[in-house]
Structure 1
Amino acid sequence: MSSTNIPTSTSVLESVVIKAPLAKVWHLLKLQDFDKFWSALSKSEVVKDVSQETDIFKWTFNDGSVYEVKQEEHSAINHHITYSVITASPELSYSSVLSTIRCHAVTAGPHADSTYVEWSAHFSSDANAGVISDAKYKRIEALLDLEKAVTKA
């Protein structure tokens, strides 16, 4: 059985507790600013959309791949952002992915005044085990990069 035929979940969820207040973490979570914390990105920029009704951003990764991501939802009240990949170069091996980053204030216990951050992704059923594994590790790396950016002096 090849790795492309291994049955796998098509969802990923990674999380971290960052020792910083919610407002400080949330401030960095704008799609056009992901290059300010995510070391895998060399550039993140706004793409001018003809319809002016959607927010589209171009992420250029250090490996040369380029994604255009569409902001599907943004809530400053509930502290979450959802986006989808609408184009990619090189082309993706799966049809679609919808990702969400959620932030929650930790209000009690030893982690009070910290922020719990989770980054999920829900892939189309044609995503294979390699895609899911790659997404898992990229999210872990990005969350640790976010933590470093927020907690640096």
Structure 2
Amino acid sequence: MSTNNVESRVIKAPATDVWDVLRKQDFKFWTLVKSAQLSSSPSEVGGTRVTTFTDGTVQKHRLLEFSEINRSLTYEIIESDPAIHSLSAQHTLKVFPVSADDTSYVQWSSDFSSEGSLEAVMDSKYKKLEALADLAKALEK
């Protein structure tokens, strides 16, 4: 069984614009997110974010890595109500410029521990695809 998942999308916006949206970590672009509250600066490693989803799920995330240079961030879910199938995973968002046409390539990956179930991996896949589609809608003009 695969214990990682990688989804991606080309977005018709410059990488700087895409990164400006993602680096805030408020996920306002994603229709499944009702709100997100950060405990510190969005770039402070170790800082936490509480995300409330439209279905009532509340998750607490901790920022593990943040890079302005590489336009990337990595976080983990440290609490979830209701509980999810696998808390032990690292999720990374990266933005790459596509120089040929000034668009962006966005990659969202998750690496689950050995306890990661197929259900958790598939749920992650479909939520990423939806979030990336919402990001594209928010940025493409």
Q: Same fold (TM over 0.5)?
A: yes
Query: What fraction of aligned residue pairs are identical, expressed as a percent?
Result: 40
Counterpart of 1:135 (choices 113, 119, 124) is: 124
Give distance in 2, aligned partners of 1:77 and 1:101: 13
Give distance in 1, aligned partners of 2:98 and 2:51: 30
Deviation at 1:94, TM superposition (A): 2.1
Stretches of structure 1 that go unaligned for 5 or more consecutive residues are: 1-7
Stretches of structure 2 that go unaligned for 5 or more consecutive residues are: none
Map of 1:5 onto structure 2: none
Give distance in 2, aligned partners of 1:31 and 1:9: 30
Map of 2:16 onto structure 1: 23
**Root-mean-square deviation (CA), in Å?**
1.5
Deviation at 1:43, TM superposition (A): 0.6
2:46 maps to 1:54: yes
1:25-70 Cα offsets, whole Å, 9 max, x none, are: 0000035421x1011110111136xxx9721000001111111001
Secondary structure (helix, strand or coil) at the match of 2:9 reads strand
* TM-score between the two structures when normalised by the length of structure 2: 0.92
1:68-116 Cα offsets, whole Å, 9 max, x none, are: 00111111111101000011111222240100001100012xxx10000
Map of 1:102 onto structure 2: 94
Give distance in 2, aligned partners of 1:95 and 1:56: 15
Q: Residues 32 and 107 (structure 1 numbering): CA distance in 2 closer, same or farther, change over 3 Å?
A: closer
* TM-score between the two structures when normalised by the length of structure 1: 0.85
Q: Residues 65 and 31 (structure 1 numbering): CA distance in 2 closer, same or farther, change over 3 Å?
A: farther
Is contact 1:56-1:71 (8 Å) kept?
yes
Map of 1:40 onto structure 2: 32
Alignment of 1:105-116 (within 5 A): 105-108=97-100, 112-116=101-105
Bigger helix fraction: 1
Counterpart of 2:60 (choices 33, 56, 68) is: 68
Would you identify which runs of 4 or more consecutive aligned residues in structure 1 move more than 4 Å? Answer: none
Letter in 2 for 1:72: L
Give distance in 2, aligned partners of 1:41 and 1:53: 22
Is contact 1:74-1:82 (8 Å) kept?
yes
Q: Residues 53 and 150 (structure 1 numbering): CA distance in 2 closer, same or farther, change over 3 Å?
A: closer
Q: Which has the larger radius of gyration?
A: 1
Give distance in 1, aligned partners of 2:45 and 2:129: 32
Counterpart of 1:148 (choices 128, 133, 137) is: 137
